[in-house]
């Protein structure tokens, strides 16, 4: 029987209240959102916070919307809500691709976007997704808000720039024309972490890739971003040969380790191949931007 160690519990009633509680209980306090990573780790006694600050009542942090030319996602938004969001899928189909393969439907009902990002598991799907999208993370602290690039958010496995006393409140993504995006993951079974996965975002100018964002999951790349392959893609033609070379570069520069999910050379192969597939799909979507939202589509999505 797995039971967490003794812990104190506080229910936050607003963001300000959550920040006040964080200040009062200090660095041994942990924010409790969906709890679907934190509670299992507490059961295994891998983490043993003194106080849980439950933010599940903060409706003000649960939203998905477009304002000021950006898609804004509240940190307490559940995975299932992002997967169901038509507006999110219309702008960034990659969000639906990734959400569809995160954990399983029941876990997605309660796990949160902000919780996944702050847990910062190296195999977590959204970190590479938001790195590819060049998203911004908005962090609230006692002295106000600060904005951090998705690529500066993680400082290492299970570590982020969110300091004790701070709270991730929002993820925002700039909406720019010519955008297409996709996420490709290979896992052993439903609900498992990926063996490897690739996130691709392109901004096209005609037949040219004006700019690209590439993310890689679970293969040991810094900030979840395949920077060398992105540099190669910038200004390159949106063609098969380009995708293949980008995949080769991405594979060359990743640093996977062998574990129970597979040997390193297999993961490196996947990093390259999944980069190619994600790029191919992202470019196809960029060329057909209208009416290709993926909301409520079954998990097999062969036509897109």
User: Contact with other proteins (CB under 8 A): which of 156, 298, 302, 303?
Assistant: 298
Of the residues 105, 141, 178, 220, which one makes contact with other proteins according to CB under 8 A = 105
Q: Name which of 3 and 67 has its Cβ closer to other proteins.
A: 3
Sole window of 88-96, 163-171, 245-253, 294-302 interacting with other proteins (rule: CB under 8 A) = 294-302
36 binds other proteins (CB under 8 A): yes
Q: Which is nearer to other proteins, 6 or 206 (CB)?
A: 6
Candidates 12, 21, 29, 52; binder of other proteins (CB under 8 A) is: 52
User: Of 23, 46, 87, 106, which lies in the binding site for other proteins, with binding defined by CB under 8 A?
Assistant: 106
- Tell whether residue 304 is a contact of other proteins (CB under 8 A): no
Whichever of 189 and 291 has its CB closer to other proteins, that residue is 189
Using N-to-C axis directions, what is the helix angle for 264-287 and 240-253, rounded to 10°? 150
Residue 75 sits in the site that holds other proteins (CB under 8 A): no
Give yes or no for residue 28 binding other proteins (CB under 8 A): no
Binding other proteins (rule: CB under 8 A), the pick from 4, 141, 220, 289 is: 4
Q: How far apart, in whole angstroms, are the C-alpha atoms of residue 297 and residue 258?
A: 34
Closest CB 221 distance from other proteins, rounded Å: 28
For the beta carbon of residue 11, count every other beta carbon within 10 angstroms.
Answer: 15
Could you give the CA distance from residue 58 to residue 12 in angstroms, rounded to a whole number? Answer: 7
Among 5, 23, 87, 174, binds other proteins (CB under 8 A): 5
In the list 14, 56, 208, 304, the residue contacting other proteins (rule: CB under 8 A) is 56
Question: 184-243: which residues touch other proteins (CB under 8 A)?
Answer: 190-191
Q: How many residues bind other proteins (CB under 8 A)?
A: 33
| Residue ranges binding other proteins (CB under 8 A) | 1-9, 11, 32, 35-36, 39-40, 42-43, 52, 54, 56, 80, 103-107, 109-110, 190-191, 298-300
């Amino acid at each position: 029987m797995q039971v967490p160690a003794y812990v104190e519990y506080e229910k936050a009633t607003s963001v300000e209240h959550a920040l006040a509680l964080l200040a009062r209980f200090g660095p041994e306090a942990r924010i409790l959102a969906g709890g679907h990573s934190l509670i299992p780790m507490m059961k295994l006694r891998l983490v043993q916070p003194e106080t849980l600050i439950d933010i599940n009542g903060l409706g003000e942090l649960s939203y998905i919307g477009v304002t000021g030319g950006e898609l804004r996602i509240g940190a307490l938004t559940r995975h299932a809500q992002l997967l169901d969001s038509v507006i999110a899928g219309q702008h960034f189909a990659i969000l639906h691709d990734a959400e569809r393969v995160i954990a399983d439907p029941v876990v997605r009902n309660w796990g949160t976007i902000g919780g996944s990002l702050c847990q910062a598991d190296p195999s977590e799907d959204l970190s590479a997704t938001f790195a590819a999208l060049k998203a911004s993370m908005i962090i609230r602290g006692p002295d106000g808000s600060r904005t951090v690039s998705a690529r500066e958010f993680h400082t290492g496995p299970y570590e982020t720039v969110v300091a004790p006393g701070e709270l991730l409140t929002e993820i925002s993504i700039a909406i720019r024309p010519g955008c297409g995006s996709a996420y490709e993951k290979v896992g052993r079974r439903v609900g498992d972490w990926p063996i490897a996965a690739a996130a691709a975002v392109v901004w096209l100018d005609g037949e040219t890739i004006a700019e690209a964002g590439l993310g890689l999951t679970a293969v040991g790349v810094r900030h979840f971003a395949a920077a060398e392959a992105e540099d190669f893609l910038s200004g390159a033609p949106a063609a098969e040969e380009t995708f293949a070379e980008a995949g080769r570069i991405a594979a060359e520069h990743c640093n996977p380790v062998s574990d129970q999910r597979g040997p390193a050379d297999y993961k490196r192969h996947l990093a390259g191949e999944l980069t190619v597939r994600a790029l191919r799909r992202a470019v196809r979507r960029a060329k057909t931007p209208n009416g290709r939202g993926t909301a409520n589509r079954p998990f097999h999505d062969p036509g897109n």
